[in-house]
Chains A and B, each alone.
Chain A
């Protein structure tokens, strides 16, 4: 049966068909749907792990125990998981182990644009790169087989346009793979210097075998076109763009991007007159060619950043400009993403801005609090950075500047806890606001240890954030509702004034959760003085028409926050009121 599938769904299907027994991940766009889709198969144990490092460690454990395991993450998630990654390269596997990493060229939903192929090389782990959904499924099945054959983890590299594009996939049956026997093997799995030195040699021997394999495998294909003068070496989504731009020329399509097939590349290069290397982001393939003395055209003409597309290739490499473009000259206002109507974070950022606090921020929906009109975030670097950075700022500027760290519940569990321990241990006085909206929001509502439910929606032990913070040594932990603006402001003033670490847990669920049921709509009455204080909320449902304030009823969810803000009682509820 043929089915239209996202690349991510096809990865999940491939893992299922390959008989995978354990799937782990921390959600991150564009990788999230892989594990969401696997979780639908009852035959597979799947979990949201607290972070990518733990996710990979769980997968390694499953592999050592003899099962096939897959671990998925976005590119920046692999940074978190690199510690186990570099050493599992030494230990190798028992059951097949595949790590899926989704890069985000163009930064659709990321804080940076890194090229994960560099990790494959640095960790000496082979990497495959599919170019459509069918290959996603096929390659993952191959990766499990090869992982066991070569006793190494495999990495599958995806990019946003592979993960989030749908194309046809031929479905197959699940192949039940029996769990391999577990034998205690000190020399293979205990990486102390004495054993690691021996495994280090094995890694190089394995690389030699993989170098030979890369030249022979059908994962790498030469596709001769009727035009043999022009040759293109490419992989992944860039293969599709190349085909669209160049059509019937010749291609060396690499399904295995590390290690690269030296002999095959030499053979292809020797038979074509003009050789292009077309790859998004870093000149990974191109540098390999140049090291081997092969002339090619690549980054001298093509950018090292952003996504490619067929017209870019036509323009840069063939000098053909698109002339079929029509446009209306107009200064079109941008439409940046915004906090949703009813978003619990809105109360937090309104209050932080009002109090002119310096705010170290973190990764999640709430990062949108950095944008106008809320504009109440000073920094955002990586998952968990808010707390460490607040502590670092304190060590330079003392308490002359009032500051707080804001971090989501899921992000706090991911890597905020260690930052908080640092604050306590090293005598900091930071105030940390945990934005507890009862879900992992930005990636589309995944459960996490603080929600009390597993990936399959089963009830489980819920991490008690209050007890956790107290156990770390934070004596001042306050739970409050960020929509009770007066009370919330009072708490913030108190906690930032005090000379010891404190945590404020701002608790209100995401407005998009099915359990949240705001009632009625808000309307503006004649008490409105057009003072525009409500406009500071940045609520998409509150509109300034130029001479009055109106509510866009199609967007208003009836959260009532504007009624809290207005001193004149100009907002009133139509229909039901909230409890």
Chain B
């Protein structure tokens, strides 16, 4: 497989940084050169957070630009809408069907847009809408929604399942390994069974 650019968009606190670390670790195991870029500090406090993971034979810039992402992994619907122009026209867009109101919406200054998922789906051909939050809640910990998303994405990368398991084991805290492996499997299964 050639180079893959994966962009992760979410809301501070949803676990996007950990997600990029699992992705990066799995990619190393698969023999790729990897670069990742993340933003810390002020932006993390409930703000819009993006991270980049680029894999390939040789990666130069760690940054993903508009029209460049092969896979856009969105943890929240509004963030999917905000960053959709980063996905390639034929890129894969995976959206967690969750709504988190930003402050301008909470205080009534702006409206949360309607029908985000249908807007995105009509704009791009490769859109997957999943309810990772519900899957995570059923597993007993909503915080693993990020690894459900990883499981879904894993299907599109061609990286072997075993390597993902290893990456999860090395990245998450020991007491959360089991639930995260389950979350990964659930996500992976959703991708296998997905029908639009």
Contact with A along B85-109 (1 / 0, CB 8 A): 1011100000000001111111111
Bound CA span A365–B39, Å: 16
- Does the CB pair A335–B34 fall under 8 Å? no
Which of the segments A390-398, A498-506, A540-548, A564-572 contacts the partner chain?
Answer: A540-548
Q: What's the nearest-Cβ distance from chain A to residue B64, in Å?
A: 9
- For B142, the closest partner residue in chain A by CB is A554
Q: How distant is the Cα of A368 from the Cα of B59 in the complex, in angstroms?
A: 36
One digit per residue, 1 when the CB lies within 8 angstroms of any chain B CB and 0 when it does not, for chain A 428-451 equals 000000000000001110000000
Contact bitstring B123-158, A, C-beta under 8 A = 1, else 0: 110000000000000000010000000000000000
Does B196 lie at the interface of the complex (its beta carbon under 8 Å from any beta carbon of A)? no
Which of A322, A328, A333 lies in contact with B120, CB distance below 8 A? A328
Chain A residues with Cβ below 8 Å from B57 are: none
How near does chain B come to A16, taking the closest CB pair, in angstroms?
21
- CB-CB < 8 A to A349: which residues of B? none
Let me know if A164 is at the binding interface, CB within 8 A. yes
Decide: A328 and B123 in contact? CB cutoff 8 A.
Answer: yes
A21 surroundings in chain B (CB, below 8 A) = none
Known: A340-B45, A443-B41. A166 touches B107 (CB 8 A): no
For B112, what are the chain A residues with a Cβ–Cβ distance below 8 Å?
333
Interface residue? A225 (CB, 8 A): no
User: Does A172 sit at the interface, judged by CB under 8 A?
Assistant: no
Question: What are the residues of chain A within 8 A of B185 when measuring CB–CB?
Answer: none
Verify B61–A309 contact, CB threshold 8 A. yes
| Contact residues on B (Cβ < 8 Å of other chain), bracket | 35 or more
What CA separation (Å) do A4 and B54 show in the bound complex? 13
The answer to whether B39 and A160 touch across the interface, beta carbons within 8 angstroms, is yes
B26 to chain A, nearest CB (A): 11
Q: Which residues of B contact A554 (CB under 8 A)?
A: 142
B40 contact from A29, A331, A339, Cβ within 8 A: A29
Question: B39, B46, B103, B105 — which one has the most chain A CB atoms within 10 A of its CB?
Answer: B103
CB pair A327 B84 closer than 8 Å: yes
| B→A interface (CB under 8 Å) | 11-13, 24-25, 28, 33-48, 59-63, 65-68, 78-79, 81-82, 84-85, 87-89, 100-113, 119-120, 123-124, 142
**Chain A to chain B contacts (Cβ below 8 Å), 29 pairs:** A4-B25, A30-B41, A108-B39, A165-B62, A167-B34, A167-B59, A244-B61, A309-B61, A310-B61, A326-B87, A327-B84, A328-B119, A328-B123, A331-B110, A333-B78, A333-B102, A333-B113, A335-B47, A335-B48, A335-B79, A337-B12, A337-B44, A337-B46, A338-B45, A339-B46, A442-B41, A442-B45, A540-B106, A544-B106
